Amino acid sequence: MSVIRSSEAPVFELPGFSIYALSAPSRGASELCTWRLRVLPGADSGVHSLDHEEVFVVVSGTLGARIGDQEHLIHADDALVVSAGTEFSIYNPGDVQCTAVVSVPAGLIGTMAGQSQTPPWAL
């Protein structure tokens, strides 16, 4: 058993996004990665895909998702499930910060702008 304190989790900053890496192989998890995601108003991830399913559970605010020509708004207490291989982007359409908890299988590979790698928060 491992206890990962939020205050001790590595934090990864991207423009408009903060990723608090809670569980991953480097932090004692062998099968599942989870992180808390904070998205500032107006922030957009850009189109990307994963080779595994990804689940977002919105805790506060609203998360937008673009999948193909469809747009979805995911509100607090709702979940978004993105199938493996789906090209999508997430964004914050509101005027307050959005917080979500994200789960993916360990070992995932993400692809963005033709580059494929395991995100550092999932190592």
Structure tokens at 25: 């192989």
pLDDT tens, residue by residue, 106-123: 999 999 999 999 999 999
pTM of the model: 0.95
pLDDT digits (tens, 9 = 90+) for 30-67: 999 999 999 999 999 999 999 999 999 999 999 999 99
Q: For domain 10-108, say whether CATH 2.60.120.10 is its number.
A: yes
55-81: buried (b, 16+ CB within 10 Å) or exposed (e) per residue? Answer: ebbbeebbbbbbbeeeeeebeeeeebe
Where exactly are the structural domains of the chain?
10-108
Bridge partners of 55? 81, 103
